[in-house]
Amino acid sequence: MSGPLDGVLVVDLTRALAGPHAAMMLGDLGARVIKVENPGAGDDTRGWGPPFVQPDSGDRESTYFLAANRNKESITLDLKDDGDKALLTELLRRADVLLENFRPGTLARLGFGTDVLAELNPRLVTLAISGFGHDGPEGGRAGYDQIAQGEGGLMSVTGPGPDDPQRVGVPIGDLLAGMYGAYGVLAALLERERTGRGKVVRTSLLAAIVGVHAFHGTAWTVAGQVGRAQGNHHPSIAPYGLFHCADGSVQVACANESLWRRLCAEFGFDPEADGMATNGDRVVNRPAVIALLEGAFASIGAEELLARLNKVGIPAGKVRTIDDVYTWDQTASQGLLVDVEHQTLGALTIPGPPLRFFSPGPDGETETTRRDHLPPPVLGSSNDAIRRWLAASDGVPQPAGDDVEDGHAT
């Protein structure tokens, strides 16, 4: 149950969120991830808070850092120091994957350009994440998530209306860039099995956000229509959105005509009423559709309404708060919470990876999902272990866990 990337060595030079998230995804899949941090302060996110755990202690840790760094080891290196650069060189000789999110050109100035890396380790797969791309008229521009959400058009289609653009409530540009980056790394590793050589994979916050425009993208490129924010209702499907009821609200999704007819039968609507007969009609007449449903729902409590919708097979749901989600038994059942033993904080429950793996067999499926997760590392906690391994190893990557005791590197 060590994961499909067992035996893959990842050197993670990234900080903040996009790169660390990609590295964490690879670690969740069983790769050994060595996170390289600046001496002293480490990854920027170690200081992003509150909230901090043990805020008045020298051992304090930010919950932001804990969110993006499970299944990693930490080593501190000063990349302007010749001795530390030599140690990084030895790591890269052994690595399968390098992750970096410096501004374009920075790694080359440090002496690790793509030509140097290719000579050092021809099988190395490098993932480079930037804000707006590594080339083009604005290549090299610094990028932070909210800036990229705005520049990439996402904020213009998010919020209550076109005059009140809103950011997505999580740093979605960073997270998407990390996901796309990990996906690119896996493709390059697969190609390496055929060619024997690594690749450079590049993505950016801008590319990741444009990559999820979905129907908004083709609405413009094909139909010439510019999408705008319109709150909690789908621009192309109706009814599909959030509806108020007697004691709160519920979300309802009627994505085809069969569901619309079931909804009408349950609540006494005429499915063929003027302006309601087809999805196209209902999109054009969305305010009337919303008024119709909310009029019927006004005397019904949320729990009763959800029960009725479920009874007739209408997709519907609550709007849960974060604490509701993490105390929901369905969340726990999917492996989305994991228990780890942190080196200074002790026992912690943290969010878990979103993938599960199963092996089919004659007697049914056997789950092979990784269970032995490493806690987010204390800054430099693997310094000695990694140096010992480099001194003793013959160049073959050592899987994560071979030098681990009680959940943290020894």
CB count within 10 Å of CB 300 equals 17
Give CA 149 to chain center in angstroms.
Answer: 15
Q: Is 354 exposed, middle or buried (0-12, 13-18, 19+ CB in 10 A)?
A: exposed
Check 28, 174, 323, 324 and give the catalytic one: 174
Q: Rounded CA gap, 241 and 230, in Å?
A: 11
75 and 39 in contact (C-beta within 8 Å)?
no
101, 229, 243, 369 from 164: Cα distances, Å: 31, 8, 21, 43
Is 174 one of the catalytic residues? Answer: yes
User: Regarding beta strands 200-204 and 316-317, do their DSSP bridges make them parallel or antiparallel, or are they unpaired?
Assistant: unpaired
Q: Which letter does DSSP use for residue 263 in this model?
A: H
Best CA proximity match to 3, nearest among 352, 299, 351: 352
C-alpha radius of gyration, the chain, whole number: 25
Where would I find the beta strands (DSSP E) of 246-345?
248-253, 316-317, 337-342
Helices (H), 196-249: 205-210, 215-221
Query: Which distant-in-sequence residues (6+ apart) come within 8 Å of 343 by Cβ?
Result: 375, 377, 378, 381, 407, 408
- Tell me which residues are annotated as active site: 174
